[in-house]
Amino acid sequence: MAIEAAVPGAEVEVILNPGPAAEHSLLLSHDKAVDVACFLRDDPALKFDFLSNVSGVDWLDKEIVEKVKVTKPVIKLVDGPEGKVEQTVDETVEETRRHIVPGYLESVYHLYSIALRHGPLVLRMRTANRTDQVEMPSLTPVWRSAEFQEREVFDLYGIVFAGHPDLRRILMWDEFKDHPMRRDYVEPDDYEYEPTPHDAVLKRAQEHKSREQSSGVRVQEPAAK
């Protein structure tokens, strides 16, 4: 691969897309991602000079169930000269095994070459997990158009882009907790923020009120408009 030849030590994995578009992508390792990005931008045969889009993806933990055949010693009664005797024999049985594949967060970049009129080239980077190892390098130093879009991904998914010049929330307010595009995000009941809650918000507000009443906490009624 041209990338690995140009950037020694770069670990690039091709992620196949089985869909009709067959828009395959390249998964980059963190330590060489910026070097790879610079090569894609500057190489005369590639000239990916335009970053059009940065998006986030949240992959939850996944349980893998598989059937495996194992050989185990089993004690059986067998016929002997003096009747039935116990004998240990190896027997192959099928077992169901389950294990958890840890989830991760992913950033996806779409590149085009305005100069050579080709693209898109899709790049991906992944975090180690969804909790305390959510950092990856920013590509803003390579493509300035990544600046606000990486801020959106940081805000909504919680990916921390190391090297970003101004990494802060862009849609939610600074004091907001959590990241609304996470797949396990739980919406607040919002009754504190909406003076006249209605529909789904009203239902959550009523449930909130019921919980507080059952716990003996004094409840303040939502103010009417």
State pLDDT tens for residues 186-213: 877 655 555 565 677 777 777 777 877 8
Number of domains in the chain: 3
Q: Before 120, cis peptide (omega within 30)? A: yes
How many Å apart are CA 208 and CA 157, to the nearest integer? 26
User: Does 218 lie in the same domain as 111?
Assistant: no
User: Does 120 lie in the same domain as 49?
Assistant: yes
User: Does 210 lie in the same domain as 126?
Assistant: no
Whether 173 maps to a domain, the answer reads no
Q: What is the pLDDT of residue 1?
A: 74
Whether 18 maps to a domain, the answer reads yes
Whether 157 maps to a domain, the answer reads yes
Q: Which two tokens stand for residue 92?
A: 């192959």
DSSP state, residue 196: S
CB atoms within 10 A of CB 134: 18
Q: Residue 198 phi/psi, 5° resolution?
A: -145, 165
Whole-number average pLDDT of the chain: 88
Whether 112 maps to a domain, the answer reads yes
Q: What is the pLDDT of residue 223?
A: 44
User: Does 89 lie in the same domain as 138?
Assistant: no
Q: What is the pLDDT of residue 195?
A: 57
User: Does 121 lie in the same domain as 17?
Assistant: yes
Higher pLDDT, 216 or 110: 110
User: Does 21 lie in the same domain as 131?
Assistant: yes
Q: What is the pLDDT of residue 218?
A: 52
Strand spans (E) along the chain = 12-15, 25-28, 50-59, 62-80, 83-101, 104-113, 118-126, 135-137, 160-162
Nearest residue to 55 via CA among 193, 167, 186, 149: 149
Q: What is the pLDDT of residue 26?
A: 97
Q: Largest Cα–Cα distance of the chain, in whole Å?
A: 95
Specify whether the backbone of 108 is left (phi greater than 0), alpha (psi in -120 to 50) or beta.
Answer: beta
Tokens 């190892």 label which residue?
A: 133
Which residue(s) pair with 101 in the sheet?
A: 62
Q: Which helix (H) or strand (E) element contains residue 105?
A: strand 104-113
